[in-house]
Amino acid sequence: MKKIALLILLLSNIIFAQETHFSIQNLSINTQYSDFGTAYLEDSTVVYASAKKDHRSIINRIWKGNKQPYLELYKGTITKEGDIIGNDYFSDKINTKYHESNVTFSDDFKTVYFNRDNYNTGTRIKRAQEGKDKGWVLIQLYKATVEENGEWSDVTKLPFNNQNYQSGHPSLDSKENKLYFISDMPGGYGKTDIYVVDIHSDGTYGEPVNLGPEINTPNREMFPFISSDNTLFFSSDGQPFSHGKLDIYATRKGKNGNYITPVNLGFPINSSNDDFAIVYRKNKKTGHFSSNREGGKGDDDIYSFKELKPLFTEKECATVVRGIVRNKKIGALLPQATVSLFKDGKIIERIIVGNDASFSFEITCESNYKVVGSKLTYTSDTINFQSSQEESDASELVLTLEDTHEFIQNGKDLLIRIKPIYFGLNKSKINLSAAKELDIIVAVMKKYPALIIEGGSHTDSRGSDRYNELLSIRRAKSTVKYIIEKGIHWSRISAKGYGESQLVNKCTNGVKCSKSEHLKNRRTEFVIKNPEAITGPIQN
């Protein structure tokens, strides 16, 4: 059986190698030095490592390992053709006078992982353990975050580094809760192995886990990359059917949760020399990789590529979920509601339903989903479900939203629904009837702890404009003071006095009106400044 399996694997790799799955192009950014290891900072910016001479410094430090300057991180712009133009210095906070390379960014581009010489306190730390590498400065993994001014800060070592072994080549998965990297830590299968570590929601890390013998060999496995469809790309000089030295391979997990046999990407991605550090642009069939093949411009060069044929031909099972949004109390359709689709807790699509209040989403089979319906002044509704194992339409889902009766739309403004708060003539004191309505305001604000409101106080037209303006300001301050004293933080409420500038009836200066008509203008209304605090922001 082993011989048959090996023969099948051999034939599949030969067939793959005979097909041209990619086109490639050497880039203008390459120099006579080592240029490699790309990562994407937003859609059009790329960060890469280079040993090119640093023109900002008079002294260029030379690394004795290859007689080239130390690697630094640079950034450039990706052209429509995939070329990279520009060689701006990436960051003074991250770049040092020693090696930095191989970065990976979070989806919001506010966190970066990278590798660097063991140098974070002004002193390089050398390997202390006995052996052939004793006295060498080892590569370690670091993390940094971006400040409001756009500069990187808080550069810290990851906790699973060790000064007796190397860790590097980081890559985040699409959910950003796993970090893949390489290491020569004890207990591996070869010279360098690929590991994965969990990133917990509180920012802590789990224990690194070796990817096992399906991936790792007695030789070198390096430069892991996880694409948006969870394909694992990596370089190896120990996998079978190599073109020579480091080749790039691809694999993904099968239904049993184990990685399938890695596939060699073949020519022209792989050559007889080192080929490594492949990355795909998000949701695209293009990207970049690195190689020191013959015909390049220098040592390691960066190449762009375009995928011409899919790597894996198996069709992903797909199905459809359909549904409708209704008013919970009366069963009527509820147009203009927002429906959000989540997969494994992360939002992947959001729509606003039309007049028929219906929605539909294309989804993958055997996956965990939820749909959330929301609309201003209504309570939200959530349905969790698992998609079917076959390609078929899912049962129709019905989201039912209930009018909260806590809010009312008044033109463009969304108000807290209360009875009018009326003040006595020339008075700003909170009376019993006013207190009862203000208590409703307090209850709503406690129910929605992120809610921010603005009270608007108004007077009737009797008295001078200036007097009425000052009176309305006093009334506004009275309402704010009352609500704050009931336990609402001052930052969540403000108030304005409008005087007689926004009357609700004809009772302007000089118009004779009854007491009840004037009373309607002596009111206070509460406008919601952040309506999203009611339905809740869409969370990943």
pLDDT digits (tens, 9 = 90+) for 32-47: 998 999 999 888 899 9
* CA contacts within 13 A on the Cβ side of 445: 25
CA distance 301 to 108: 28
Per the CB < 8 A criterion, the answer to whether 21 and 266 are in contact is yes
CA distance 441 to 448: 11
Q: Is the pLDDT of residue 119 over 70?
A: no
In sequence order, what are the residues at sequence separation of 6 or more whose Cβ sits closer than 8 angstroms to the Cβ of residue 118? 124, 125, 126, 137, 138, 139, 140, 161, 163
| Per-residue confidence (pLDDT) for residue 62, from 0 to 100 | 62
DSSP string, 152-163: EEEEEE-TT-BT
| Per-residue confidence (pLDDT) for residue 375, from 0 to 100 | 85
Question: Which percentage of the chain shows pLDDT scores above 70?
Answer: 86
Q: Is the pLDDT of residue 534 over 90?
A: no
Residue 68's pLDDT band (boundaries 50, 70, 90)?
A: confident
The per-residue pLDDT of the chain, averaged, comes to 83
Given strand 247-251, what is the order of strands in its sheet?
Answer: 221-226, 232-236, 247-251, 263-264
* H or E stretch covering 414: strand 413-416
Residue of 427 and 235 predicted with greater confidence: 235
In this predicted structure, which of 91-95, 422-426, 488-492 has the lowest mean pLDDT?
422-426
**What's the alpha-carbon Rg for the chain, to the nearest Å?**
32
Q: Which of helix, strand or coil describes residue 352?
A: strand
| Per-residue confidence (pLDDT) for residue 54, from 0 to 100 | 61
Per the CB < 8 A criterion, the answer to whether 442 and 486 are in contact is yes
Please name which of 530, 528, 535 lies closest in space to residue 401, comparing C-alpha atoms: 535
Per the CB < 8 A criterion, the answer to whether 71 and 99 are in contact is yes
Q: Is the pLDDT of residue 13 over 60?
A: no
CA distances from 135 to 168, 169, 191, 515 (A): 19, 22, 18, 93
Say which residue the tokens 């952040």 belong to: 530
Q: Which domains does the chain have, with CATH numbers?
A: 2-307 (2.120.10.30), 318-401 (2.60.40.10), 407-535 (3.30.1330.60)
- Among 238-247, 384-393, 485-494, top mean pLDDT goes to 485-494
CA distance 365 to 391: 7
| Per-residue confidence (pLDDT) for residue 386, from 0 to 100 | 82
Task: Sort strands 68-69 and 263-264 into parallel, antiparallel or unpaired.
Answer: unpaired
CA distance 519 to 462: 11
| Per-residue confidence (pLDDT) for residue 319, from 0 to 100 | 77
CA distance 260 to 263: 9
What mean pLDDT is predicted for residues 234-259? 85
Q: Is the pLDDT of residue 282 over 80?
A: yes
| Per-residue confidence (pLDDT) for residue 66, from 0 to 100 | 55
| Per-residue confidence (pLDDT) for residue 129, from 0 to 100 | 54
In sequence order, what are the residues at sequence separation of 6 or more whose Cβ sits closer than 8 angstroms to the Cβ of residue 4? none
CA distance 69 to 54: 8
Q: Is the pLDDT of residue 1 over 80?
A: no
What mean pLDDT is predicted for residues 291-301? 91
Q: Is the pLDDT of residue 122 over 70?
A: no
In sequence order, what are the residues at sequence separation of 6 or more whose Cβ sits closer than 8 angstroms to the Cβ of residue 530? 450, 451, 452
Q: Is the pLDDT of residue 316 over 70?
A: no
| Per-residue confidence (pLDDT) for residue 16, from 0 to 100 | 44
| Per-residue confidence (pLDDT) for residue 9, from 0 to 100 | 45
Residue 24's pLDDT band (boundaries 50, 70, 90)?
A: very high
CA distance 275 to 269: 7
| Per-residue confidence (pLDDT) for residue 274, from 0 to 100 | 94
In this predicted structure, which of 111-125, 193-207, 227-241 has the lowest mean pLDDT?
111-125
| Per-residue confidence (pLDDT) for residue 273, from 0 to 100 | 94
CA distance 5 to 1: 6
Instruction: Name beta bridge partners: 187.
Output: none
What mean pLDDT is predicted for residues 369-383? 87
Q: Is the pLDDT of residue 322 over 60?
A: yes
C-alpha 326, offset from chain centre: 32
Q: Is the pLDDT of residue 348 over 50?
A: yes
